[in-house]
Structure formats: structure tokens, C-alpha cells
Amino acid sequence: MWNEESDWIGSFDALLARLAECSMCSRRSGERPGAAQMDVKILDVAAEGGYGRVFRCLDVHTGALVAMKQITMVRLSQGIPAQIIREVSLLRELHHANIVKLLRVGFTENRYVNLVFEHLDYDLHQFIVNRGYPKDATTVKSFMFQILSAVAYCHSRKVLHRDLKPSNVLINHSKRLIKLADFGLAREFADDFLYTEKLGTSWYRAPEILCHSRQYSTQVDLWSVGCIFAEMVIGQPLFQVINCRDELEGIFKLLGTPTEETWPGITKLMPNLHIYCSKFDPLGLETFVTDLEPSGLNLLSMMLCLDPSKRISAEASLKHAYFTDVNWI
């Protein structure tokens, strides 16, 4: 086993030195000199989670507020975690007004990965919980349009987000600007590709994933956007409101238990469907989402369509009648 003490490590270090000197490397990497130290001054901890911490920081060069996500690398035997590789590489090529900007990437003692992002004031979850949710229809419409613009852009670049939820939607308060964040579960998609089913937060998870399908596409993101839409209107997660033992039962209570007619292929996907849950007649979206204009309810029903093949796309959603009377587009 060759290790750090072996003879060849001198050559390896020489290779590292050559790389460090290589002007092309720094040009290609898009990182400033000293990015390893991240060039930030930590102000406070903004959030903490299983992955690590998010710090509110000052950029030492510009004085601007930035957010630094520090992720602890737990399983070093696997090298750099896949989640970080995906998030950084996809954000490197997604340039859109409604997608959070990744400014720098760095490492500390080979144990922490530091991602420096532009700073935003709060997320949509905090906005809904702490501010009594966006009560005016114009804000809901504006937020929805911006979320859909970002999702449509991702899909046009063949990228699925796969973890859309209010806490991954960031807000710039003064500009009322929305930015999608947390691309840790995102991936490029291809037709007929098998993906993992273990993803996304269950309240925002599409029924095809809950039915253990590993063959899904852009429609999973649209389901999540529909759940966010409903939550902005009613002030709490739609499927939390419905009294049920799990998310799938909640979905079937709301929209009706699917049949081969309403969702072709469901019996193959879920052969034990009739055993798993009773046959529910749809309660209907309008029962729970009461304060939404008819065109909004229509768009919501097209997003929360059980059959993924009939679910509306992000591109088509942006052209929906719900957005026609808006002058800020």
C-alpha cells in the first residue's frame, strides 16, 4: 500500500506544486487566490443541520454579506461526498436570476467543505411561519412565477432539483426576489434513467416516488412546486393538513385513489395498492385551498396531477392564464 510516507510522495508533492503554479489552473477554477481561506469573516451561525452549519459572514474584500455553508466530511473513505460534488458542479453552470449564486469553494484540514453563497434574508419556510404567510395574491403570484422560472431554466439545462421545499427557496426581502438553493440532491437527467427513490422531503415528494418508482423525470419538481404553491396560500404544508397515516394516503384522500384509467401503469408500479389503502373519492383541492382565484386553482390542479405524464411542465406553467394579468413579468 502506497501512502504519504512512501518514496514517490516527493514526486506527488512536486506535481501538486506544479499544479499550484499552473496559471491555467487558477484561470479555469474561477476561484480567487486565497480562496482556501474563504476570504470571509464569520459574524454568526445562521443555521445548523445534520450536514453542518451555515454562517453569516462578511466578504473581507467587498464588505458584502455572504453565507458560508460548512459541510463536515464524515465518511472520508468515500472521498468528497457526492452531494457536494453534485451541488457545486451543477451550480457552476446554472446562471439564472432566480438561482442562488455560489461564490467560492474551499476546504479546511481535508475535513470541511466550505461553500460561500450570496446572502439572502430568509427562506420561504421562515416567511410563511414567522410572517403569517404571503396573504396578498400578488406576492404569491410573484413568488410562484419566479420559482417556476428557475425550475424551467433547470429543466432546460437537463437538471432536476429533486428537493424543492419552502426552506430551499430563499428570499431577498427588499427586492422581493426569490432564489432556489440547495442543489445537493440535484442531478442531470436522461430519458429512461433509473434514479434513487430515497430523496426529497416527504410532504413535497411526488406520488410516483412515494410509490417507489425509480424512473421519473422533471414532473417530480412540478409536484413539489404545487405543494409549495398550496402552502403559500394556506400557510401550512398541504399534506400535513389532511388527517392521514402517511403522505401517500393523504394524496389519495385529496385527489382520489388512482386507477389504471386515471393513472396508467399504477397497478404495475404498486400491485398492492388495493391492500395498501381504501378506495378514496377525491375530497378536491378547493376543500383545503380556499383563498385562491379560479385560474390559480386550475394551475395548482395541473401541478398536483397524480399521473406524471399528464402533469404540467414548468415552461407551460409560466404561460398559464394565472399569470396573464401580472404587469411585473
Partner 1 sequence: MDNLLCDEVWLSKSSNTFEEVSDPVALKSYENEEFEEAFAVCLEKEVSFLPESDYTKYLHSNNLIFPRCRVIQWFIKCRSRFNISFGTVFLAVNYLDRFVSICQCHDWEYWMLELISIACLSIAIKFNEMSALSLHEIQVENLDYSFQSNVILKMELILLKVLGWRLNSVTSFSFVEMLSVGFLEPHLHEKFISRVIDLLIQATLDQKMLEFRPSIVGISALWCTLDQLFPPKSDTYIAYIMSILNQSQKDDIIKCHKLMETQTSMRCENHHCYCPLSPTTVLYIEHA
Site pattern 96..135 for partner 1 (x: CB under 8 A): ---------x-x--x-------------------------
Closest CA to 215 of 161, 265, 144, 164: 265
Residue 318 grid coordinates: 409560466
Is residue 195 involved in binding partner 1 (CB under 8 A)? yes
Residue whose CB is less far from partner 1, 198 or 245: 198
Sign of CA dihedral 236, 247, 186, 265: negative
Active site residue 221: no
Strands lying side by side in the sheet with 177-180 = 122-123, 169-172, 177-180
Question: How near is the Cβ of 311 to partner 1 at its closest, in Å?
Answer: 17
Among 62, 72, 89, 240, the residue binding partner 1 under the rule CB under 8 A is: 89
Among 12, 32, 284, 294, the residue binding partner 1 under the rule CB under 8 A is: 12
Residue 159 grid coordinates: 437538471
How many CB atoms lie under 10 A from the CB of residue 177? 16
Subset of 242-301 contacting partner 1 (CB under 8 A): none
Among 50, 194, 243, 328, the residue binding partner 1 under the rule CB under 8 A is: 194
CA angle 57, 63, 68 (to 5 degrees): 25
Among 32, 61, 131, 158, the residue binding partner 1 under the rule CB under 8 A is: 158
Please identify which of the residues 163, 221, 281, 291 carries the catalytic annotation. 163
Among 47, 58, 88, 177, the residue binding partner 1 under the rule CB under 8 A is: 88
C-alpha–C-alpha distance, residues 265 and 231, integer Å:
29
Among 79, 174, 275, 281, the residue binding partner 1 under the rule CB under 8 A is: 79
Q: What is the DSSP string of 144-185?
A: HHHHHHHHHHHHHTTEE-----GGGEEEETTTTEEEE---TT
Is residue 18 involved in binding partner 1 (CB under 8 A)? yes
The set of residues, in sequence order, having a beta carbon less than 8 Å from that of 72 and lying 6+ positions away, is: 51, 52, 111, 112
Contacts with partner 1: how many residues (CB under 8 A)? Answer: 47
> Which spans of this chain sit near partner 1 (rule: CB under 8 A)?
1-4, 8, 11-12, 15-16, 18-19, 22, 24-25, 28-31, 76-82, 85-86, 88-90, 92-93, 105, 107, 110, 156-159, 187-188, 190-192, 194-196
Residues classed as catalytic: 163
